[in-house]
Structure 1
Amino acid sequence: MLKLPPPVWALIYVLLTLAISRQLGWPELPGLPLPGLGITLAFIPWALPVWAAVMFHRAGTEINPVSPTNRALVVDGPYRYTRNPMYLGLVLATFGVAIWVGAWPMFLAPLALFATVNWVHIPFEEAKMRRQFGATFDQYLARVRRWV
């Protein structure tokens, strides 16, 4: 699972749930779809990954979490509020797509993405960062929550 980055998993999950929704005849949840809210939630959360990427660039380090070396531990910008702003943005964006489409199978995409990053990608990345940054990373873990 680590060979595919989370944005690819997000796309796979959205496409899979779209196919399931289509196969089931687009079974809507009561009160949905909400296209305006869904579109907003599908696009605004992309500000988090962009902001995080800018912070990585300013720190002169790599964005790729599986890189053998990262030059800096980024703790500014969105990283003051969440340890995973890029993943949070992806999960919120897939949730926005679900609200936009309104079919209940679509809500499986953000759940599957959350599970994939929370229990596969993040533990691997945190172990790597702990090895690389030691006590500094442990202090950061104590100050900032994984999600929000």
Structure 2
Amino acid sequence: MQRVSAVFGSALFFLVAPCVLAGLIPWSMTRWEFRPPLFDLDATRAVGILLIVAGLPGLVDSFARFALQGLGTPAPIAPTQKLVVTGLYRYVRNPIYIAVVAVIFGQALLFGDWRLLWYGALLWLFFHVFVVMYEEPTLKQTFGAEYESFRTNVPRWIPRLTPWRAV
């Protein structure tokens, strides 16, 4: 039953957070209408598509890992019981935030909208402050040495080239 509630909670939080932050808000800003390409380069649209295509599966995979392996959700009100250190978490500590920002930047490039670039940058800044001020201290307190080992070996924002394997 615990796994079922974790899956349900993660699915609900997915609709509330990433779908709103990377879907509803960008749509409300742009109505997903194409403007002239940024920097007057059509190639920026292709880069935008790549960012969206790269971000979405990573987002879904990370949410699934929180529910199925961590037995919780990414939401602070229903956190995981186990530290998740598999999948994309072997490369970077915050793949959900990176994926959300990648999807937003991808839309900015695809639709040629500078406002989305600013929105994505401000959202990343918010994520950074939240991670440093709340998430990392909470994870250290909750998971102790296990989190410290993870934190020491896996970067916060820029992915490592080879996967880290927990001992």
**Mapped contact 2:37–2:110 kept (Cα < 8 A):** no
Please provide the CA RMSD for this pair. Answer: 2.9
Tell me which moved more, 41-50 or 86-95.
41-50
Unaligned runs of 5+ in 2: 1-15, 159-167
**Mapped contact 2:47–2:110 kept (Cα < 8 A):** yes
Matched, 1:103 2:113: yes
Question: Deviation digits for residues 33-62 of structure 1, max 9, x if unmatched?
Answer: 743332332233111111112322331511
Q: Which residue of 1 aligns with 2:81?
A: 71
Q: 1:120 to 1:96 in 2, by over 3 A?
A: same
Question: Deviation digits for residues 11-38 of structure 1, max 9, x if unmatched?
Answer: 575357538xxxxx97953325743332
Partner Cα separation in structure 2 for residue 126 and residue 58 of structure 1:
22
**Mapped contact 2:59–2:95 kept (Cα < 8 A):** yes
Q: 1:69 to 1:40 in 2, by over 3 A?
A: closer
Match of 2:137 among 111, 127, 133: 127
Tell me which moved more, 138-147 or 36-45.
36-45
Partner Cα separation in structure 2 for residue 53 and residue 104 of structure 1:
29
Q: TM-score, normalised by structure 1?
A: 0.77
Q: Which residue of 2 aligns with 1:88?
A: 98
Unaligned runs of 5+ in 1: 20-24
Q: TM-score, normalised by structure 2?
A: 0.69
Q: Which residue of 1 aligns with 2:147?
A: 137
Matched, 1:14 2:26: yes
The alignment of Structure 1 onto Structure 2 pairs a total of residues equal to 142
Question: Deviation digits for residues 53-99 of structure 1, max 9, x if unmatched?
Answer: 23223315112331355210011111000111111111111110011
Match of 1:58 among 65, 68, 72: 68
Partner Cα separation in structure 1 for residue 85 and residue 101 of structure 2:
21
**Mapped contact 1:28–1:102 kept (Cα < 8 A):** yes
Percent identity between matched residues is 26
Higher RCO structure (Cα 8 Å, ≥6 apart): 1
